[in-house]
Amino acid sequence: MKKGLLVGCVVGGAILVILLMVVFWSIGVYNNLVTLNEQVDQKWSQVQNQYQRRLDLIPNLVATVRGVADFERQTMTDVVEARAKATAMQITPEVLNDPVAFQKFQAIQGEVSGALSRLLVTVENYPQLKANENFLQLQAQLEGTENRIAVERKGFNESVQSYNTSIKKFPTSFFASIFGFKDKQYFEATVGAETPPKVEF
């Protein structure tokens, strides 16, 4: 009887150790998913910061360009309308989990980029603007912001890749589905982004 009790205790102890290992391993997997998700959210915030910086610079740029009386009105209208659309869209953390909302956000930001590109190309026909110190400073800030946006989008995509890869690997995928971790969207190049804007004078 003592031998049977001893074997039972050893088997029970082994099962308890295995269960504890599984519990601690599961906690580690969950915590890693939370960490990766938070990294995606942090990178998303950085992208939003840079887009906001660009939107904040546009009114100053528009005011400076408006000082040139014969500047193309349609170009100015496009920039103002694109900015208005971008500022009107409510950005919430749920945008990352909603592919339709994410694509809409990306499309609106693409419109802003396109309108600004056309504006900056159009300026080439206005020597008085090219010589305006305020305009040159704003142009340099916008170019810097566009570079920052590209860097932050790249960092965001890398973070999304790590997260998406993790939630798809077995056995983490099992826990990801239980706890509701879903794929995040990547930023993609805007259709036609490889073609520079055409401006005819």
Domain with 54 in it: what CATH number?
1.20.1440.20
What letters, b where the CB count within 10 A reaches 16 and e where it falls short, cover 106-125?
bebbbbbbbbbebbbebbee
Residue 94 resides in a domain: yes
- Number of domains composing the chain: 1
What contacts 115, CB < 8 A, 6 or more positions away? 75, 78, 79, 81, 82, 83
Nearest Cα neighbor of 88 from 75, 104, 76 is 104
**pLDDT value at 41 more than 60:** yes
Residue 154 resides in a domain: yes
Residue 42 resides in a domain: yes
Question: Do residues 187 and 153 lie in contact, with contact meaning Cβ atoms separated by under 8 Å?
Answer: yes
Residue 199 resides in a domain: no
**For 105-114, 152-161, 187-196, which range has the lowest pLDDT when averaged over its residues?**
187-196
Q: Residue 39 has what pLDDT?
A: 95
Residue 51 resides in a domain: yes
Rounded to an integer, the average pLDDT of 41-70 is 85
Q: Residue 35 has what pLDDT?
A: 95
Q: Residue 130 has what pLDDT?
A: 73
Q: Residue 190 has what pLDDT?
A: 63
- pTM of the complete model: 0.78
Percent of the chain with pLDDT over 90: 29
pLDDT bracket for residue 191 (50, 70, 90):
low
Question: Do residues 180 and 35 lie in contact, with contact meaning Cβ atoms separated by under 8 Å?
Answer: no
Nearest Cα neighbor of 91 from 55, 143, 142 is 55
Residue 106 resides in a domain: yes
Which amino acid does the sequence have at 16?
Answer: L
Question: Do residues 112 and 86 lie in contact, with contact meaning Cβ atoms separated by under 8 Å?
Answer: yes
Residue 70 resides in a domain: yes
Rg, C-alpha atoms of the chain: 26
pLDDT tens, residue by residue, 126-142: 777 777 788 888 888 88
Helices of type H across 67-132: 73-88, 99-122, 127-130
Q: Residue 119 has what pLDDT?
A: 85
**pLDDT value at 91 more than 70:** yes
Q: Residue 196 has what pLDDT?
A: 45
Tokens of 13: 């102890």
Residue 64 resides in a domain: yes
Other C-beta atoms lying within 10 Å of the C-beta of residue 83: 23
* Domain range for 87: 2-179
Rounded to an integer, the average pLDDT of 5-21 is 84
